[in-house]
Amino acid sequence: MKPQGFRDTGRFNREPARPGAYTPNNLARLMRCLDISANVAIPLRPTGANTSATDCNLATTGTTINTAGLDRIIHIDAYNHTVTAQAGVRVGALIAALAEEGMELVGSFDQTERTLGGAIAAPCMGPGIGEHASLLSTQVISMKVVTAAGKAMKISHMQKHLLNAFRLSYGMLGVIYEVKLRVRPITTFSASHRSMDVDTFAHVSDRLANGNVGLKFYLMPYKNQVYLDLRHYDASVGNTYNAPWKIKDWGESTVLPGVFKSLGRVMPIPSVRYQIIDTISATTHGLVNSKLIRSGNNAAAGGRHRRRKPRNLLYSTWCFPATDFSLVVKAYARFCRETFARTAYRCDLPAVGHRVAQDNSALLSPSFDEALIALQTVSTQQRGWDDFVLDLSEFAENWGGIPLFNATVATRPAYVAQTYGGRMEFFRKLRRQLDPEGRLLNPYLSRYFK
Ligand SMILES: Cc1cc2nc3c(=O)[nH]c(=O)nc-3n(C[C@H](O)[C@H](O)[C@H](O)COP(=O)(O)OP(=O)(O)OC[C@H]3O[C@@H](n4cnc5c(N)ncnc54)[C@H](O)[C@@H]3O)c2cc1C
């Protein structure tokens, strides 16, 4: 059973703090979790829906603060285009509530089970159209947090530098409990789909990586195939239906991973298994994307409203400068094929990519200096994955990849320091001021931020 309170009645015999997990459902309880005088084990780690691929939200020997209990949407202001909600609200629930008022998030985000707090404290990125629609945290107007010392603090848009530091702070500056975001009226885009080989994609990727197009793609390196999903605003789009987007999300996040995991068990001959897998993937992308979906909006494109993360999925995301991507994508396809030939390991799901606009609204923004392409490698095959992601990291470092603290597995601290440069040092200084005792740093984050 989870510990519920923090009573320390023994005046002389204070019990040693034990690891625990708390799910506060109001501010007072959250403050008690972080109160210095409360006898809780440190480190303290906030967690949302737990969809991170790294240990950034773990506190095995300390205290986990699960924000899922803070799940109220406080106010949707359809006149001023803002929404105020607590950190534990699921992104899917927020999208649905906004849609009822004719509003949507600025940007297109799937993984609807993630929490608003997790999507602000860590990168929540998607194929948004335009220069400010790639990261959800960009839309934060103000937020309320509880500091490492258990004090409530409001950060307004007037405190620009502090707000920039708290966006994408991975819970290292404090626990976010309420956020006010800019939203907008639902806007329909048209969606077009193409498939091509990797060389052709590399050839056109420079032109596609401009801000007026929402670019998402599915890359099948072993089949030499890329499926493009291009979104743009145009005057003549028809009606948008939610059902095709829901089918697409269901296929991609539930059906394909489930089928591929089972195939791994029932079909022992790898060459046959992978042929089946690639054929199913290609058919699904060809059918669902090209035939069903012609238009959309950010509300529909989020897919189904889920409460739990898809099971069985392993992933690691690296971002690459958009200007180099025509070379990177060919090298990535080669890397996958060569690694398969050498180690017999390959991912069974297509890699997913999208453009991330240049955005310096967060101190630790991955695209602080330039536009990027995020490339997410996804698989259900556990055996061999750990070695594969080590090789992937080496590949990504050679190509100037930028890691994400929540989504990139196996990153070297020295390389991270080099990539984030002086911004890391600035963040560390601020961290030491707000959390001098290092209560919010777990061993994983200490490797990079101590
Ligand atoms: C299959 C799969 C696909 C994905 N695809 C994408 C994708 O396309 N694009 C993308 O951007 N991401 C993607 N992700 C990553 C993931 O959805 C993000 O990391 C997400 O934003 C994290 O939200 P969460 O609620 O799960 O937070 P968690 O994973 O629980 O936490 C993330 C970080 O935020 C901190 N944190 C959480 N809540 C708070 C809070 N209230 N206050 C302060 N700090 C907090 C945690 O300590 C941790 O450091 C994918 C994940 C999976 C599993």
Instruction: Report the SS3 class of residue 258.
Output: helix
- The residue type found at 289 is N
Q: Does residue 2 contact residue 20 with C-beta atoms inside 8 Å? A: yes
Instruction: Report the SS3 class of residue 155.
Output: strand
4, pLDDT greater than 60: no
Phi and psi angles of residue 191, each rounded to the nearest 5 degrees, phi first: -120, 130
CA distances 400 to 122, 325, 327, 337, 419, Å, are 21, 11, 12, 20, 8
Tell me how long the chain is.
450
Instruction: State the distance from the centre of ligand 1 to the C-alpha of 444, rounded, in angstroms.
Output: 16
Mean per-residue pLDDT, 294-321: 77
For residue 8, name the pLDDT band (cuts at 50, 70, 90). Answer: very low
Q: What is the pLDDT, as a whole number, of residue 192?
A: 84
Contacts 24+ apart (CB under 8 A), 343-347: 343/384, 343/387, 343/388, 343/391, 344/270, 344/384, 345/381, 345/383, 345/384, 345/385, 345/387, 345/388, 346/222, 346/274, 346/381, 347/377, 347/378, 347/379, 347/381, 347/388
- The residue type found at 13 is N
Residue with tokens 């889920």: 306
Domains of the chain by residue range: 70-186, 189-296+310-411
Q: In this predicted model, what pLDDT tens digit does every residue of 175-193 receive, in sequence order?
A: 999 999 999 999 888 888 8
86, pLDDT greater than 60: yes
* Cβ 67 under 6 angstroms from ligand 1: yes
Q: Does residue 243 contact residue 379 with C-beta atoms inside 8 Å? A: no
Task: Supply 157's token pair.
Answer: 């848009």
Atom of ligand 1 nearest to the CA of 313: 1
* Cβ 134 under 6 angstroms from ligand 1: no
Q: How far apart are CA 119 and CA 168, in angstroms?
A: 8
Share of the chain above pLDDT 90, in %: 66
Domain 189-296+310-411 sits in CATH 3.40.462.10 = yes
From start to end of 287-413, where are the E strands? 295-296, 314-321, 351-356, 372-379, 402-403
* CA-proximal residue: ligand 1, atom 36 (nearest): 118
* Cβ 302 under 6 angstroms from ligand 1: no
Mean per-residue pLDDT, 25-34: 95
Q: In this predicted model, what pLDDT tens digit does every residue of 359-389 receive, in sequence order?
A: 999 999 999 999 999 999 999 989 999 999 9
Q: Does residue 407 contact residue 24 with C-beta atoms inside 8 Å? A: no
* Cβ 366 under 6 angstroms from ligand 1: no
Between 38-52, 260-274, 377-391, the lowest mean confidence (pLDDT) is in 260-274
* CA-proximal residue: ligand 1, atom 53 (nearest): 51
Phi and psi angles of residue 133, each rounded to the nearest 5 degrees, phi first: -115, 20
For residue 284, how far is the Cα from the chain centroid?
Answer: 24
* CA-proximal residue: ligand 1, atom 22 (nearest): 118
pTM for the model stands at 0.90
12, pLDDT greater than 50: no
Q: Among 26, 94, 114, name the best residue to mutate to test ligand 1's pocket (greatest count of ligand atoms within 8 A of Cβ).
A: 114
* CA-proximal residue: ligand 1, atom 21 (nearest): 119
Class of domain 70-186: alpha beta
Higher pLDDT, 301 or 307: 301
Q: What is the pLDDT, as a whole number, of residue 71?
A: 96
Instruction: State the distance from the centre of ligand 1 to the C-alpha of 289, rounded, in angstroms.
Output: 26
Atom of ligand 1 nearest to the CA of 352: 8
* Cβ 303 under 6 angstroms from ligand 1: no
* CA-proximal residue: ligand 1, atom 27 (nearest): 118
